[in-house]
Amino acid sequence: MEAIDIREYKPEDEESWLRCRALAFLNTAYYDNVLREKEKYQNPAIELVATIDGLLVGLIDLECETVPNTVCSARPGLGAMIWHLAVHPDYRQKGIGTALLSRAADIAAKRGVVRLEAWTRDDPWVQSWYECRGFRAVDSYLHVFIDGASELKGAIKSEIPGLLPVQAFAHYVGKEPEAIAGRFKRVHRCALYERRILS
Ligand SMILES: CC(C)(COP(=O)(O)OP(=O)(O)OC[C@H]1O[C@@H](n2cnc3c(N)ncnc32)[C@H](O)[C@@H]1OP(=O)(O)O)[C@@H](O)C(=O)NCCC(=O)NCCS
Protein backbone atom coordinates (compact mmCIF):
# COMPACT_ATOMS: atom_id res chain seq x y z
CA MET A 1 0.00 0.00 0.00
CA GLU A 2 1.13 3.55 -0.70
CA ALA A 3 2.44 5.60 2.22
CA ILE A 4 -0.08 7.09 4.62
CA ASP A 5 0.46 10.72 5.48
CA ILE A 6 -1.08 12.04 8.69
CA ARG A 7 -1.30 15.80 8.88
CA GLU A 8 -3.39 18.60 10.32
CA TYR A 9 -6.80 19.28 8.81
CA LYS A 10 -6.97 22.38 6.56
CA PRO A 11 -10.16 24.31 5.71
CA GLU A 12 -9.81 23.27 2.05
CA ASP A 13 -10.20 19.61 3.16
CA GLU A 14 -13.81 20.19 4.23
CA GLU A 15 -15.60 18.63 1.23
CA SER A 16 -13.37 15.53 1.24
CA TRP A 17 -13.66 15.30 5.05
CA LEU A 18 -17.49 15.34 4.85
CA ARG A 19 -17.55 12.70 2.10
CA CYS A 20 -15.11 10.41 3.89
CA ARG A 21 -17.09 10.67 7.12
CA ALA A 22 -20.45 10.02 5.40
CA LEU A 23 -19.10 6.92 3.62
CA ALA A 24 -17.40 5.65 6.77
CA PHE A 25 -20.62 5.80 8.77
CA LEU A 26 -22.82 4.14 6.12
CA ASN A 27 -22.27 0.60 7.47
CA THR A 28 -22.53 1.60 11.13
CA ALA A 29 -25.37 2.30 13.55
CA TYR A 30 -24.74 6.02 12.85
CA TYR A 31 -25.68 5.55 9.16
CA ASP A 32 -28.11 8.47 9.23
CA ASN A 33 -25.75 10.87 11.00
CA VAL A 34 -24.62 12.88 7.96
CA LEU A 35 -23.01 16.30 8.33
CA ARG A 36 -23.02 18.99 5.66
CA GLU A 37 -20.51 21.23 7.42
CA LYS A 38 -17.56 20.29 9.58
CA GLU A 39 -17.99 21.10 13.25
CA LYS A 40 -16.11 23.95 14.90
CA TYR A 41 -15.05 23.60 18.54
CA GLN A 42 -15.16 26.00 21.47
CA ASN A 43 -12.05 24.49 23.05
CA PRO A 44 -8.64 23.76 21.52
CA ALA A 45 -9.03 20.88 19.10
CA ILE A 46 -6.77 18.30 17.47
CA GLU A 47 -8.02 17.82 13.92
CA LEU A 48 -6.01 15.36 11.83
CA VAL A 49 -6.54 13.69 8.46
CA ALA A 50 -4.89 10.69 6.84
CA THR A 51 -4.14 10.89 3.13
CA ILE A 52 -2.84 8.44 0.57
CA ASP A 53 -1.54 10.00 -2.64
CA GLY A 54 -3.37 13.19 -1.67
CA LEU A 55 -6.71 11.39 -1.20
CA LEU A 56 -8.33 11.94 2.21
CA VAL A 57 -9.01 8.45 3.60
CA GLY A 58 -9.32 9.01 7.34
CA LEU A 59 -9.99 11.64 9.96
CA ILE A 60 -10.01 12.26 13.69
CA ASP A 61 -11.20 15.24 15.74
CA LEU A 62 -10.55 15.62 19.45
CA GLU A 63 -11.75 18.56 21.53
CA CYS A 64 -9.42 19.12 24.50
CA GLU A 65 -10.53 20.41 27.86
CA THR A 66 -8.70 23.30 29.47
CA VAL A 67 -10.92 22.95 32.55
CA PRO A 68 -11.83 19.40 33.69
CA ASN A 69 -15.37 18.15 32.98
CA THR A 70 -16.35 20.92 30.58
CA VAL A 71 -16.32 18.71 27.45
CA CYS A 72 -15.98 15.19 28.86
CA SER A 73 -17.86 13.41 31.62
CA ALA A 74 -17.28 14.14 35.30
CA ARG A 75 -14.22 11.94 35.90
CA PRO A 76 -10.83 12.90 37.30
CA GLY A 77 -8.34 14.77 35.10
CA LEU A 78 -8.28 16.83 31.91
CA GLY A 79 -10.01 14.98 29.10
CA ALA A 80 -10.35 15.14 25.33
CA MET A 81 -13.46 13.98 23.52
CA ILE A 82 -13.14 12.11 20.22
CA TRP A 83 -15.99 13.72 18.34
CA HIS A 84 -15.16 12.18 14.98
CA LEU A 85 -13.08 9.17 13.94
CA ALA A 86 -13.62 7.62 10.54
CA VAL A 87 -11.74 5.69 7.89
CA HIS A 88 -13.00 5.39 4.31
CA PRO A 89 -14.49 1.87 3.86
CA ASP A 90 -12.08 1.04 0.99
CA TYR A 91 -9.07 1.75 3.23
CA ARG A 92 -10.05 -0.08 6.44
CA GLN A 93 -7.98 -2.59 8.39
CA LYS A 94 -4.72 -1.10 7.18
CA GLY A 95 -3.82 0.58 10.46
CA ILE A 96 -5.08 4.04 9.48
CA GLY A 97 -7.54 4.41 12.38
CA THR A 98 -4.92 3.21 14.86
CA ALA A 99 -2.33 5.62 13.46
CA LEU A 100 -4.75 8.57 13.66
CA LEU A 101 -5.69 7.72 17.25
CA SER A 102 -2.09 7.25 18.29
CA ARG A 103 -0.92 10.57 16.76
CA ALA A 104 -3.86 12.45 18.27
CA ALA A 105 -3.29 10.87 21.71
CA ASP A 106 0.41 11.89 21.62
CA ILE A 107 -0.50 15.51 20.84
CA ALA A 108 -3.21 15.51 23.52
CA ALA A 109 -0.81 14.11 26.14
CA LYS A 110 1.67 16.92 25.40
CA ARG A 111 -1.16 19.38 26.12
CA GLY A 112 -1.75 17.86 29.57
CA VAL A 113 -4.72 15.68 28.65
CA VAL A 114 -4.78 12.52 30.81
CA ARG A 115 -7.80 10.72 29.37
CA LEU A 116 -9.69 10.29 26.11
CA GLU A 117 -13.42 9.75 25.75
CA ALA A 118 -15.56 8.58 22.82
CA TRP A 119 -19.24 7.83 22.39
CA THR A 120 -20.21 4.88 20.21
CA ARG A 121 -23.43 3.19 19.22
CA ASP A 122 -23.77 -0.58 19.37
CA ASP A 123 -21.56 -1.75 16.52
CA PRO A 124 -19.69 -4.66 18.14
CA TRP A 125 -16.69 -4.34 15.78
CA VAL A 126 -16.29 -0.63 16.57
CA GLN A 127 -16.62 -1.25 20.30
CA SER A 128 -14.04 -4.03 20.13
CA TRP A 129 -11.78 -1.71 18.10
CA TYR A 130 -11.85 0.75 21.01
CA GLU A 131 -11.45 -2.02 23.62
CA CYS A 132 -8.39 -3.44 21.82
CA ARG A 133 -6.88 0.05 22.00
CA GLY A 134 -7.17 0.40 25.77
CA PHE A 135 -10.63 1.96 26.08
CA ARG A 136 -13.26 0.65 28.48
CA ALA A 137 -16.99 1.34 28.61
CA VAL A 138 -17.83 3.59 31.57
CA ASP A 139 -21.42 4.67 30.92
CA SER A 140 -24.33 4.16 28.54
CA TYR A 141 -27.88 5.16 27.73
CA LEU A 142 -30.27 4.51 24.85
CA HIS A 143 -30.84 6.30 21.56
CA VAL A 144 -34.46 5.65 20.60
CA PHE A 145 -35.95 6.27 17.15
CA ILE A 146 -39.74 6.43 17.29
CA ASP A 147 -41.37 6.02 13.91
CA GLY A 148 -44.96 5.89 12.68
CA ALA A 149 -48.36 6.08 14.34
CA SER A 150 -48.16 2.82 16.28
CA GLU A 151 -44.80 3.64 17.90
CA LEU A 152 -45.72 7.28 18.57
CA LYS A 153 -49.00 6.31 20.25
CA GLY A 154 -48.67 6.69 24.00
CA ALA A 155 -45.05 7.87 23.69
CA ILE A 156 -44.96 11.28 21.98
CA LYS A 157 -47.72 13.87 21.83
CA SER A 158 -47.69 17.35 20.29
CA GLU A 159 -49.18 20.18 22.30
CA ILE A 160 -49.29 22.48 19.27
CA PRO A 161 -52.63 22.34 17.37
CA GLY A 162 -52.05 21.10 13.81
CA LEU A 163 -48.49 19.89 14.49
CA LEU A 164 -48.55 16.13 13.97
CA PRO A 165 -45.44 14.14 14.94
CA VAL A 166 -44.35 11.57 12.37
CA GLN A 167 -41.00 10.54 13.83
CA ALA A 168 -39.06 11.34 16.97
CA PHE A 169 -35.57 10.77 18.31
CA ALA A 170 -35.15 10.46 22.07
CA HIS A 171 -32.56 9.66 24.71
CA TYR A 172 -33.63 7.08 27.29
CA VAL A 173 -31.85 7.33 30.64
CA GLY A 174 -34.48 5.50 32.73
CA LYS A 175 -34.32 2.23 34.62
CA GLU A 176 -36.11 -0.06 32.13
CA PRO A 177 -33.91 -0.23 29.03
CA GLU A 178 -35.10 -3.76 28.13
CA ALA A 179 -38.73 -2.60 28.00
CA ILE A 180 -37.76 0.30 25.72
CA ALA A 181 -35.66 -1.96 23.49
CA GLY A 182 -38.65 -4.31 23.19
CA ARG A 183 -41.14 -1.57 22.45
CA PHE A 184 -39.41 0.32 19.61
CA LYS A 185 -37.84 -1.13 16.45
CA ARG A 186 -34.73 1.07 16.34
CA VAL A 187 -32.97 1.41 19.67
CA HIS A 188 -29.20 1.77 20.11
CA ARG A 189 -27.15 1.49 23.26
CA CYS A 190 -24.89 4.52 23.16
CA ALA A 191 -21.78 3.77 25.21
CA LEU A 192 -19.16 6.12 26.60
CA TYR A 193 -15.63 4.73 26.33
CA GLU A 194 -12.66 6.08 28.26
CA ARG A 195 -8.92 5.53 27.97
CA ARG A 196 -6.43 6.97 30.44
CA ILE A 197 -3.26 8.27 28.77
CA LEU A 198 -0.01 9.44 30.27
CA SER A 199 0.85 13.12 30.14
C1 LIG B 1 -13.32 2.05 13.61
C2 LIG B 1 -12.45 2.54 12.45
C3 LIG B 1 -12.08 4.00 12.63
C4 LIG B 1 -11.18 1.68 12.44
O5 LIG B 1 -10.33 2.15 11.41
P6 LIG B 1 -9.35 1.16 10.64
O7 LIG B 1 -8.34 1.99 9.93
O8 LIG B 1 -10.12 0.18 9.86
O9 LIG B 1 -8.69 0.40 11.87
P10 LIG B 1 -7.23 -0.21 11.95
O11 LIG B 1 -6.81 -0.73 10.61
O12 LIG B 1 -6.34 0.71 12.64
O13 LIG B 1 -7.53 -1.41 12.92
C14 LIG B 1 -8.00 -2.62 12.39
C15 LIG B 1 -8.91 -3.25 13.37
O16 LIG B 1 -10.25 -2.84 13.15
C17 LIG B 1 -11.07 -3.98 12.88
N18 LIG B 1 -11.98 -3.60 11.80
C19 LIG B 1 -11.89 -2.54 10.98
N20 LIG B 1 -12.93 -2.52 10.13
C21 LIG B 1 -13.68 -3.58 10.42
C22 LIG B 1 -14.88 -4.10 9.89
N23 LIG B 1 -15.53 -3.51 8.87
N24 LIG B 1 -15.40 -5.21 10.43
C25 LIG B 1 -14.76 -5.85 11.45
N26 LIG B 1 -13.61 -5.39 11.99
C27 LIG B 1 -13.08 -4.26 11.48
C28 LIG B 1 -10.09 -5.07 12.46
O29 LIG B 1 -10.55 -6.35 12.79
C30 LIG B 1 -8.84 -4.73 13.26
O31 LIG B 1 -8.94 -5.27 14.56
P32 LIG B 1 -7.68 -5.50 15.53
O33 LIG B 1 -6.51 -4.74 15.00
O34 LIG B 1 -8.14 -5.00 16.85
O35 LIG B 1 -7.49 -6.96 15.46
C36 LIG B 1 -13.14 2.35 11.08
O37 LIG B 1 -13.51 1.01 10.96
C38 LIG B 1 -14.34 3.23 10.85
O39 LIG B 1 -14.24 4.26 10.19
N40 LIG B 1 -15.53 2.84 11.34
C41 LIG B 1 -16.75 3.57 11.07
C42 LIG B 1 -16.82 4.89 11.80
C43 LIG B 1 -16.83 4.67 13.28
O44 LIG B 1 -17.47 3.77 13.76
N45 LIG B 1 -16.09 5.52 14.01
C46 LIG B 1 -15.91 5.42 15.44
C47 LIG B 1 -17.12 5.68 16.25
S48 LIG B 1 -17.35 7.35 16.60
pLDDT in tens, 43-92: 999 999 999 999 999 999 999 999 999 999 999 999 999 999 999 999 99
Q: State how far the Cα of 87 lies from the Cα of 42, in Å rounded to an integer.
A: 25
71 CA to centre of ligand 1 in angstroms: 25
pLDDT in tens, 121-134: 999 999 999 999 99
CB of 1 within 6 A of ligand 1: the answer is: no
Domains of the chain from N-terminus onward: 4-139+191-196 (3.40.630.30), 141-187 (no CATH)
pTM over 0.85: yes
Provide CB contacts within 8 A for 46, sequence distance 6+: 60, 61, 62, 64, 80, 104, 107, 108
CB of 95 within 6 A of ligand 1: the answer is: yes
